[in-house]
Amino acid sequence: MNLPNRLTVLRIILVPVVVLVYIFPYAQAGIEPRIFTFDSVNISIINFIVLAIYLIAAFTDFLDGHIARSRNLQTTFGKFADPIADKMLTTTMFLLFISRGIIPVVPVIIMVCRDIVVDGCRMLAASNGKVVSAQMLGKLKTVLQMCTIALILLNNLPFELWGLPVSELLLWFSAFVSLASGISYFSQLKDDILESK
């Protein structure tokens, strides 16, 4: 297994690590995580730890793609596992936030449904011998999701100090871009999807 694939596997392994750190019953275990206060905003050290793990995982996403392209180490496993690792990471984070009542469920449903549609489109394209490259909207969606997750873990700092709901706006904008990206993929392959033979 080459280095880019190892980084992809590492990203997948970090998903359950993030879950464990985030939902571990610290109070029942007699552990009181430290709370940091920034003006009127409180952030648990757990959020900082999860953010650090998430940023490491997100960096491996950039790194494995860069190494694979620059060293010509692209493999079938990498093409298969890399997008799965990305979606596992981001979707897991959003589900954790929903479980705590931090974010609404609707934008996450939109993003998850988009991923299902795009994956279906890609599988259909592959069965017809077509390669569907990543689109700019898809890349923008990923960047927006990463920024949204980081801001939510930081309790919307520094914008919360000024009363600006930037993390919430970014979440809905991510859902909008995600939906637009899904429509774009569908339109690109609609002839294959709707063929009647």
> Is the pLDDT confidence value at 197 over 60?
no
Residue 155's contacts (CB-CB under 8 Å, 6 or more residues apart) are 41, 42, 43, 47
Quick one: tokens of 116? Answer: 């299902």
Average pLDDT of the residues in 168-179 = 96
> Is the pLDDT confidence value at 123 over 60?
yes
43 C-beta neighbours (distance < 10 Å), count: 18
According to the model, what pLDDT value does residue 131 have?
Answer: 59
CA atoms within 13 A on the CB side of 56: 16
According to the model, what pLDDT value does residue 68 have?
Answer: 82
**What percent of the chain is modeled with pLDDT above 70?**
92
Listed range (38-47, 74-83, 167-176) with the worst mean pLDDT: 74-83
Listed range (20-34, 49-63, 65-79, 130-144) with the worst mean pLDDT: 130-144
- For residue range 60-116, list pLDDT tens digits in order: 888 887 888 888 888 777 777 888 888 899 999 999 999 999 999 999 999 999 988
Domains along the chain?
3-193 (1.20.120.1760)
- Residue identified by tokens 């801001």 is 151
The whole-angstrom separation of Cα 62 and Cα 131 is: 21
| CB contact at 8 A, 119 and 138 | no
Q: Would you place residue 132 in the very low, low, confident or very high pLDDT band (cuts 50, 70, 90)?
A: low
Of 100, 125, 111, 114, whose CA–CA distance to 50 is shortest? 100
DSSP three-state, residue 54: helix
- Residue identified by tokens 């927006």 is 144
According to the model, what pLDDT value does residue 34 have?
Answer: 95
Listed range (21-35, 49-63, 129-143) with the worst mean pLDDT: 129-143
